[in-house]
Amino acid sequence: MARYMLIMRASDEAQEAFDAAGVDFEEMLATMGRFNEELIDAGVLVAMDGLDDPANGVVVDYSGDEPVATDGPYGETKELFNGFWILDVATMDDAVAWAKKAPLAGPGMKAEIRRIPGIDEFPQDNAWVRRERAWRERTGQL
């Protein structure tokens, strides 16, 4: 098995259209809840979370000599990262199949899928990898 992150993304226009549509919050929770329940029942869900309104976020920009933190709303964005699921499935094809079932309909809505490398894939003789492995073992992640 491998872990994959499904990242919910929406263009600025898609987010504006969603907000303007006045989708009932309880209906949205029910739709997402049904999908999440399906992931749980299949035994593939590791973690999930949605994110707060981007206007409440902060961006840390590392392009200068010193990092600069700026309060939201973000300036120029192409897409917003709205939440994620982490799935434990055998292949990328399996992750894609789950992503296709996600209730993210509409122009500008996307799910990005990224594999999460396991600690065993890094050089085990590296001191920092050994420290991370020890932390993961202490916290029950391994």
pLDDT of residue 77: 65
pLDDT of residue 2: 92
State the Cα angle at 119 between 36 and 88, rounded to 5°. 20
pLDDT of residue 73: 64
pLDDT of residue 17: 82
Beta bridge partners of 88: 3
Structural domains for the chain: 2-138 (3.30.70.1060)
Q: What is the mean pLDDT of each run of 10 residues along the chain (142 residues)?
A: 90 80 82 93 93 80 89 68 93 95 84 92 93 93 86
Sign for the pseudo-dihedral over CA of 46, 101, 113, 24: negative
Pair 106, 8: CB distance under 8 Å: no
